[in-house]
Amino acid sequence: MTNRNVLITGGAGFIGSHVVRLFVEKYSNYKIINLDALTYAGNLENLTDIENAPNYTFVKGDITDEPFINALFDKYKFDSVIHLAAESHVDRSIKDPLAFVKTNVIGTMILLNAFKALWKDNFTDKLFYHVSTDEVYGSLGETGLFEETTSYDPNSPYSASKASSDHFVRAYGETYGMPYVITNCSNNYGQNQFPEKLIPLFINNIINHKPLPVYGDGNYTRDWLYVVDHAIAIDLVFHKGKQGDTYNIGGFNEWKNIDLVKLLCQQMDVALGREKGSSEKLITYVKDRPGHDLRYAIDASKINKELGWKPSVTFEEGLKITIDWYLNNEDWLNSVTSGSYQTYYQKQYS
Ligand code: NAD
Ligand code: TYD
């Protein structure tokens, strides 16, 4: 196995921490640098089990800080980048779109430029891996699936910013010959997800007997994937994916929000030893999200056929692991839901 110098951005976040752990544990000969600004979504508590590993270094820093990023590339001479750092929440993007342009578009550009300047067009054995979302494809009707060839048609400021950064990554490939790969993944869930996204938010609210704010009529559909399966897919694409290509990653697991919420309620009642049906009573229909995409559904047959990837757990199993993790990690949950979370929650749901 060749030695590598891998920069993982956003490695203290939800998905990034699972990717960092997998790479640090699996590739002892790689030097893994985790660069993260530790925004509200980044948390070093997600990585305490590997923080002292000899092949791991954490660096606090912002991808939009160009001199800092250039100096970091000079210092470590990264041969590959797995770029996950982003503003990632659609509701926040509706309230503050510019923050999404700064990190997701400008930040990505600064990384691309630093990578290009370091290798001066000699990109042998190099790779820039951009981790992206299925939301760039826009919204599906009741039928159909997103394929790698589906046109981009983003609707939210979040998805528009991710689409833009995907385009720049591809443009650097076409224009400068920079070796890249892009993956577009469906909704992730699992341990360490910040409780602003549907599943951890509702787990936290059920624990605290708070209303479960279902947007609109709840008949919106998402495809859900367990986060560890996403990390496994990233490992596969990083090592075996075709350069200059795109792979869709999904769970083959479509759920209407309201059905998912009811399943979650049932599992929470069991896990908490509460009377059957008690969590469902917390469901509250609230004002819809503006520009709410009706349905996302991924055709993940390319990564399945070409790289042999498929999800390793069923949704019911993954949800149970997730619920158990949140119930066993009360300190983590209490710490991330104190302080600025309260202000966010008031503004979003009052
Ligand atoms: P997250 O919000 O949990 O974590 C993002 C991380 O990026 C945090 O650790 C944060 O501190 C860091 N970060 C933010 N701005 C930064 C900056 N300017 N400089 C350095 N670090 C910064 O996000 P996530 O859910 O783990 O998503 C990770 C990536 O995967 C994102 O690019 C997202 O678009 C993509 N993605 C997410 C999902 C999902 O369901 N969550 C699905 C598909 C793709
Ligand atoms: P979310 O977890 O924010 O992911 P995304 O918007 O990236 O798909 O939302 C998942 C679905 O759940 C989406 O259709 C919006 C809906 N939703 C609610 O109904 N209530 C909520 O409080 C949240 C956060 C989301």
Q: Which ligand is nearest to the CA of 88?
A: 1
* Percentage of the chain modeled with pLDDT above 70: 100
pLDDT for 241 beyond 90: yes
CB of 228 within 8 A of CB of 18?
A: yes
Query: Whose CA is closest to 235, among 80, 113, 348, 341?
Result: 80
Read off the DSSP letter of residue 287: P
Residues 6 or more apart whose CB falls under 8 angstroms from that of 154 comprise 135, 136, 137, 138, 160, 162, 163
Q: Which residues are tagged catalytic?
A: 134-135, 158
Mean pLDDT of the chain: 97
pLDDT at residue 350, as a whole number = 87
pLDDT at residue 121, as a whole number = 86
Tell me what the mean pLDDT of segment 338-347 comes to.
94
d(CA 17, CA 10): 8
pLDDT for 149 beyond 70: yes
pLDDT at residue 336, as a whole number = 96
The band of 58, judged by pLDDT with boundaries at 50, 70 and 90, is very high
- Shortest-distance atom of ligand 2 to CA 198: 2
Mutate to test the pocket of ligand 2, among 89, 202, 205, 222 (most ligand atoms within 8 A of CB): 222
> Which residue lies with its CA nearest to atom 19 of ligand 1?
62
d(CA 256, CA 200): 17
> Which residue lies with its CA nearest to atom 28 of ligand 1?
84
d(CA 323, CA 128): 34
pLDDT tens digits for range 107-121: 999 999 999 999 998
d(CA 10, CA 61): 10
Say how many residues make up the chain. 350
pLDDT at residue 189, as a whole number = 98
Residue appearing with tokens 């993940």:
300
Q: Locate 168 and state its tokens.
A: 């720049």
d(CA 248, CA 146): 8
pLDDT tens digits for range 189-234: 999 999 999 999 999 999 999 999 999 999 999 999 999 999 999 9
**What is the phi/psi pair of residue 283, to 5°?**
-60, 125
Pocket-forming residues, ligand 1, beta carbon under 6 Å: 9-10, 12-16, 36-39, 41-42, 62-64, 84-88, 103, 107, 131-133, 162, 185, 187-188, 194
**Backbone CA torsion sign across 179, 148, 162, 134:** negative
Tell me what the mean pLDDT of segment 116-128 comes to.
96
Quick check: pTM over 0.85?
yes
Read off the DSSP letter of residue 16: H
3-state class (DSSP) for residue 247? strand
- Where do the domains of the chain lie, and which CATH numbers do they carry? 4-189+224-249 (3.40.50.720)
pLDDT at residue 2, as a whole number = 81
pLDDT tens digits for range 7-21: 999 999 999 999 999
Query: Whose CA is closest to 1, among 19, 23, 20?
Result: 23
pLDDT at residue 1, as a whole number = 52
d(CA 59, CA 74): 14
Pocket-forming residues, ligand 2, beta carbon under 6 Å: 90, 187, 197-198, 201, 213-215, 220, 222, 257, 289
